[in-house]
Structure 1
């Protein structure tokens, strides 16, 4: 079965828009767990525009020993203010998985993966440090990537396929090419000995087609669409619907 990891960034965005502590990100995580999700994802950024370091720490205490905890971020983004850096956060809370994403400070959301030929030497020491902390390491990659052996060689255990282009193509009624690219990336990663995760703009509308076509799918990370759908149907019911789709 493919694990559902619920990304809670949008809960933090809503809270931050007003200030204070509501909606409570830990209460949201508890609801997701009780509704059957297998993991919680957060993507803290240096500008603190959604999930903050204190959220990362509070969630770690709540999740430990219950479900997987996935922290995403750019390992090259410098520490500043309250943000201690991705590696330092991992050192503090020891999440199940750290997903390395090459997003810049100015990006609204992640929109591309690592170039493994270009970035592998910079990633190597950071991957080793995370492995020493006991974290599984995943790399955010484009579906068009064709060589995953360099990632496996430095200790990376999974890739996360960037599914934004697939979701866009699906919405336009022309998903075949993008879906084939994702399936090919999954097969190549599996041949290289890597597990396969996926995420970005996946929704109830497109997840069934994606799951049916992409082999070896260990985990999907879904936030924006799931939280948006939960405004209409409720968070617990929406999480249960996603879990059912993945079964």
Structure 2
């Protein structure tokens, strides 16, 4: 079964908009685990516009499922991850001013850098994953970095699927097949939703984990968070 990790960045965005502590991100993380989520994902950025670095520390003792911290491996981020030692660190090549993640790693160009960072994380017992576009060369490049897993960047699939183009899944299927052959675990995330998650899951062999935030929180405004978590779990079976 594919694990559902809920990205709670949007809860922090809502909290920050009023300057207080409502909603409380730690309590929310505890609740979604109680509702059945199998992981909690956060993606702190340098400007801390949603999840703050302190949140990452505060969440550590409360996440008893899988704790996944995403981000660009700048020095501050790397030091934080090494101190917290989450279950998994997902490396994302975010520009400082990026509104959201918008590209995967060029694992060939950045091979040496990724090897160095990944080696340090793995020495500390932290599972590593790197964010990649559905590009076979970059999947092969990911293997050379020493990463444990890849996370397929799924925005292109989601956009095309919403237009009725189911063939948009094909490059993702091929990349997952190659990753499986190479011994890389396969995660996925970005714009996956209740509308497309079942189709995606059915066509991605060996899909271990999906990280879903924006869509899941948006859907929960209408359907309720506990109900939505259960709906995702049902579609991922």
TM over 0.5: yes
The alpha-carbon deviation at position 150 of structure 1 amounts to 3.5
8 Å CA contact 2:129–2:151 kept in 1: the answer is yes
Alpha-carbon distance between aligned partners in 1 of 2:42 and 2:110, rounded to the nearest angstrom: 23
Alpha-carbon distance between aligned partners in 1 of 2:139 and 2:194, rounded to the nearest angstrom: 29
8 Å CA contact 1:4–1:38 kept in 2: the answer is yes
8 Å CA contact 1:31–1:235 kept in 2: the answer is no
The alpha-carbon deviation at position 148 of structure 1 amounts to 2.9
Does residue 136 of the first structure (1) align with residue 134 of the second (2)? no
Which of residues 222, 225, 228 is equivalent to 2:212? 222
Alpha-carbon distance between aligned partners in 2 of 1:175 and 1:86, rounded to the nearest angstrom: 37
Unaligned runs of at least 5 residues, structure 2: none
1:168-217 residue CA offsets vs partner (Å, 9 max, x unmatched): 001111131x2001111101111111000000000000001101111110
The alpha-carbon deviation at position 147 of structure 1 amounts to 4.6
Q: Secondary structure at the match of 2:137?
A: coil
8 Å CA contact 2:130–2:147 kept in 1: the answer is yes
Aligned to 1:206: 196
Q: Secondary structure at the match of 1:137?
A: strand
TM-score, scaled relative to structure 2: 0.97
Aligned to 1:17: 17
8 Å CA contact 1:147–1:188 kept in 2: the answer is no
Q: Secondary structure at the match of 2:110?
A: helix
8 Å CA contact 2:5–2:38 kept in 1: the answer is yes
Alpha-carbon distance between aligned partners in 1 of 2:133 and 2:114, rounded to the nearest angstrom: 17
Alpha-carbon distance between aligned partners in 2 of 1:213 and 1:148, rounded to the nearest angstrom: 18
Distance 1:149 1:181, change over 3 A: closer
Alpha-carbon distance between aligned partners in 1 of 2:121 and 2:49, rounded to the nearest angstrom: 25
1:145-174 residue CA offsets vs partner (Å, 9 max, x unmatched): 335344323320000000000000011111
CA RMSD of aligned residues (A): 1.1
8 Å CA contact 1:146–1:185 kept in 2: the answer is no
Q: Please say which of residues 167-176 and 12-21 is displaced more in the overlay.
A: 167-176
1:111-147 residue CA offsets vs partner (Å, 9 max, x unmatched): 1100111011111111111001110000100012335
The alpha-carbon deviation at position 26 of structure 1 amounts to 1.0
Which of residues 114, 118, 137 is equivalent to 2:109? 118
Aligned to 2:4: 4
Q: Secondary structure at the match of 2:49?
A: coil
Alpha-carbon distance between aligned partners in 2 of 1:130 and 1:208, rounded to the nearest angstrom: 32
TM-score, scaled relative to structure 1: 0.93
Does residue 174 of the first structure (1) align with residue 165 of the second (2)? yes
Q: Secondary structure at the match of 1:47?
A: coil
1:27-50 residue CA offsets vs partner (Å, 9 max, x unmatched): 111111011111000000001100
Alpha-carbon distance between aligned partners in 1 of 2:142 and 2:215, rounded to the nearest angstrom: 30
Unaligned runs of at least 5 residues, structure 1: 79-84
